Amino acid sequence: MGKPKVGVYGLTGCAGDQLVILNCEEELLDIAGALDIKSFPMAMSGGDENCPLDIVFVDGTVVQPKDEEMLKNLRERAKLLIAIGTCAVWGGVAAMSNETPREELKNKVYGPAGQVFDTVVPQPLSSFVKVDLAISGCPIEKEQLLQAVASLLHGDLPRLPNYSVCTECKMSEYPCLLVEKGQLCLGPITVAGCKARCPSYGRPCIGCRGPVEEANVSSEVRLLREKGFTWVDIQNRLRTFAAPADCFEDKILKEGANA
């Protein structure tokens, strides 16, 4: 079997997840040796933009009509489509104000310059195409990426954590910022994988990896309300990185707020 043909592409976003791939300095030669990288516009010119691909890694969010077009084209080209980064998986910061009308938002941010381009309501990749594997994180964790590549080379999907940041926080025995300091920490509802990096520096989790499966958001909201945080503070924090997620729907948030 030949090396898998791979493409790495970015939609609207900071391209930080593609940068994580380039930052795998020690492993870069191994990666390049194991994969046949056909196109990686951020890293190389002269890529093949039409060939069929075994795997395509996509970061960023669908924010412009051309993102949707590009994404659908990549889906057609690739056997496996892998969303990398919280933007691609959950919508990311681009989607934090989706309830505000697009025109109003565009005008506020860009003024008259906003007239020259189109935007759509930002959505994660899975709203448009089938996503075969989602690696979240802002940016993604290098170790998870390497494990994913290694597993895919073995014809398997990687094992990603399906528990919260709290689990990793306690495994490393960091003092609890919710219990001890009463901080607005989203550890209990945010998916693990970062080894609780922010709590390790005494900073609360801001949910940049997106929600854990079956996150108990109403219990989290209730306990933050009991600690005296305002509804606005809580809502802003919850909706920073993954506002389109089902668990952050208005109805669920309000349930927690009124409990």
Partner 1 sequence: MRIVILPKENLAEFIGHLRSFGELHAPTKRGEKSLVFAPVSDLSEIELNYTRTILPLKKYFFKATDVMFNFCAEKGYELPVEEADKKYVIFGVHPCEIHGLKILDLVFGGKYVDTYYFARRSKVAIIGLDCIPDDLCFCRSTGTDFVDTGFDLFLSDIGDSYLVRVGTSLGDDMVRAADSLFRQVKKEDREAYKRNSVQRRDSFQAEIQLQDLPGIMDLEYESHVWEEVGEKCLSCGICSMVCPTCYCYSVFDELSLDGNTGQRKRIWDSCLFKDYALVAGGHNFRAQRSSRVKNRYFHKQRGFVSQYGRPSCVGCGRCKAYCPAGIDIVEVISKLRSEIRV
What residues make contact with partner 1 under the rule CB under 8 A?
27, 30-31, 33-34, 146-147, 149-151, 153-154, 159, 162-164, 166-167, 170-176, 178-181, 187-189, 202, 212-214, 216, 218-220, 222-223
Minimum distance, C-beta of residue 43 to partner 1, in the bound complex (Å): 18
Backbone dihedral region for residue 258 (phi beyond 0: left; psi -120 to 50: alpha; all else: beta): alpha
Q: Which is nearer to partner 1, 65 or 202 (CB)?
A: 202
Residues in the chain: 259
* 184: DSSP letter: -
Q: Which is nearer to partner 1, 66 or 181 (CB)?
A: 181
Minimum distance, C-beta of residue 138 to partner 1, in the bound complex (Å): 20
Please report which helix (H) or strand (E) contains residue 167, including its range. helix 165-171
Q: Could you identify the residue written with the tokens 């795997």?
A: 55
Extract long-range pairs of 170-179: CB within 8 Å, 24+ residues apart. 172/196, 172/200, 174/199, 174/200, 177/202, 177/203, 177/204, 177/205, 178/204, 178/223, 178/227
Q: Which is nearer to partner 1, 107 or 172 (CB)?
A: 172
Q: Which is nearer to partner 1, 46 or 213 (CB)?
A: 213
Instruction: Compute the radius of gyration of the chain from its Cα atoms.
Output: 19
Minimum distance, C-beta of residue 162 to partner 1, in the bound complex (Å): 5
Minimum distance, C-beta of residue 35 to partner 1, in the bound complex (Å): 9
Minimum distance, C-beta of residue 173 to partner 1, in the bound complex (Å): 5
Q: Which residues pair with 80 in a beta bridge?
A: 55
Q: Which is nearer to partner 1, 31 or 257 (CB)?
A: 31
